[in-house]
Amino acid sequence: MSEAQTVSAHSSLITSLTGILGADNIILDETERSYYSQDVYNQGPTVLAVIQPDSKEKLSQAVAAITSADVALFPRGGGFSYTDGYVPTTSNGITVDTRKMNRVLEINTEDMYVTVESGCTWAALEDALSDKNVRPIFWGPFSGMTATVGGSMSQGSLTYGSSKWGPSGVAAECMEIVLADGSIVTTGSAGQPNHSPFFRHYGPDLTGLFCNDAGALGIKATITLRLQRRLPVVMGLSYAFDEFSGLHRGMAAAAREGLPTEAFGFDTTVMKVFTGGQGLAQDLKTLWAVGTAGRNIFAGAWQMLKIALAGKRFIDKAEYTAHFICEARDMREMKSQLSALRKAVGPFGNEIVNTVPAVVRAYPFPPFSLLGMSGERWVPLHGILPFSRVAEFQDKLMALHTRYKGQMEQHKVITASMFTTLATNGFLYEPVFYWEDAREPFHDRHTDPEILKKLTDFPVNMDGRKLVEEMKKGIIDCFYECGGAHMQIGKVYPYTRERDAGAMAMVKALKAHVDPKGLMNPGALGI
């Protein structure tokens, strides 16, 4: 059956969905449907339609109608997946774009929680809370201008708050989930009458079941996050390292002490990509943000002066850099934290000007680039490792790079790496690929038009794509061999590989219970 015939065969379903959602909340244009069927890295079969419900009630009715017609559902948040998170596995499917469900429903500063609809972005939530002196214990990834709260809960993400508390799911208290039959399940303390959504761990952790599920178990309608007070003093330290072992040991030492709120590291290639592609206007905007974020006018001016004098010279002087951000109630407490941080990290590297921490906290959700500095295609992957096995993984990764060196040079593929720590016991290693290749419409849509004018239009490079895919699989195997775990599992990471049989039986039984027809993001989690 052709695509047109498939769409025609479901005309009654489209009519029903139009009645439920309104014509403005359903997309049938073929170009748009194709766009919604791809992510940063991959393209799936084009779906029948894209729906954009604007309430949990309409979402519930639409899901029931879709699954009753034996059509698959592919939930989508901000759209920056690179692991086929919402990429369709069948054309007999409908994408559920949650971004019109974007309201902040309740801010409760007495009981310290906030409830949002799943399509609310982290940047919008930060704006809503900025004058309340509170924020969630995890408050978003770097891509928070686009990334949604629901997407982060489904996929798992990290950045702000992660080095103190862990990944995104730790902030969730309660959720309302729309299951495959359209019914709504409420988790945590909110699941009983006259109970507020303030507490997660009342009985079995049902909230946890829907964290990191890649949308395989249901579609998140609302999420309640735990709040904390914003601490008034925020400062950071930066270090340079000549070798990876120094960066690894320094970041691990800081994490074990529970010192930083955020900690992230880069190799030289990543730093050049992050900073080299900005024009003067963006540099000035960033510098202004740093200055106005100072504790007072003098502190802000001093921070601006340090950055202006330091420029980007440090990028060319070290193979690796790591950056740590701490929060405190007053300067006395901050000085104590920074002293302990220097004691932990100092033996492994050299302290440098703290440009990056200042910029990151002043401008936490910048426009997120999906391309390299000259317009190269880009895709990351990652693994979370215990500190004791990071060196083993590094050796395997370097050996893999050596094996592929000739092919990488031939097909215009380069690699880079980023790093962070999660709470006191996890090291996230994020290899990144850049390669010269033709952009997809997805990339053009998410890149500033003024920047697009400056980028190279590379020709199609199928050999480069195949090489990147082959190397990705090899790196994922390296993570597996070193005991690595993953977030953003989507349809890529080996969640089911050799997993404990009893645990796997429970997961499959849960999937069968909440989604008996297997229509909720089929293929996600590998099930």
Q: Which residue in 493, 496, 490 sits closest to 478, CA to CA?
A: 493
pLDDT of residue 509: 97
Q: At 158, which CATH number?
A: 3.30.465.10
Contact by Cβ (8 Å): 150, 409? no
Q: What residue type is assigned to position 406 of the chain? A: G
Check whether residue 349 and residue 238 sit in a common domain: yes
Check whether residue 70 and residue 163 sit in a common domain: no
Q: Rounded to an integer, what distance in angstroms lies between the CA atom of residue 290 and that of residue 226? A: 28
- 3 state SS of 486: coil
State the residue range of the domain holding 159.
104-229
pLDDT of residue 318: 78
Report the alpha-carbon angle 299-142-336, nearest 5: 40
Of 100, 133, 160, the position where a domain reaches its end is 100
Check whether residue 225 and residue 180 sit in a common domain: yes
Indicate whether 429 belongs to any domain.
yes
Indicate whether 507 belongs to any domain.
no
Q: At 310, which CATH number?
A: 3.30.70.3450
List, for the chain, all residue ranges whose pLDDT scores fall below the cut of 50.
277-311, 314
Q: What residue type is assigned to position 427 of the chain? A: F
Q: Which residue in 126, 336, 137, 324 sits closest to 231, CA to CA?
A: 137
Check whether residue 441 and residue 322 sit in a common domain: no
Q: Rounded to an integer, what distance in angstroms lies between the CA atom of residue 489 and that of residue 524? A: 8
pLDDT of residue 300: 42
CA dihedral 108, 231, 123, 423 (to 10 degrees): -100
Q: Tally the domains of the chain.
A: 4
Check whether residue 219 and residue 237 sit in a common domain: no
pLDDT tens-digit profile of 27-56? 999 999 999 999 999 999 999 999 999 999
Q: What residue type is assigned to position 423 of the chain? A: A
Indicate whether 368 belongs to any domain.
no
Indicate whether 344 belongs to any domain.
yes
Strands (E), 374-425: 377-380, 383-385, 413-422
Q: Rounded to an integer, what distance in angstroms lies between the CA atom of residue 497 and that of residue 506? A: 15
Residues 6+ apart with CB under 8 A from 63: 73, 96, 178, 179, 180, 181, 182, 219
pLDDT of residue 8: 62
Indicate whether 452 belongs to any domain.
yes
Report the alpha-carbon angle 235-288-279, nearest 5: 115
Check whether residue 225 and residue 237 sit in a common domain: no
Check whether residue 346 and residue 290 sit in a common domain: yes
Check whether residue 457 and residue 437 sit in a common domain: yes
Residues 6+ apart with CB under 8 A from 524: 85, 213, 214, 215, 216, 489, 490, 491
In total, the chain counts a number of residues equal to: 527
Of 337, 362, 387, the position where a domain reaches its end is 362
Tokens read off for 460: 């199609």
Indicate whether 520 belongs to any domain.
no
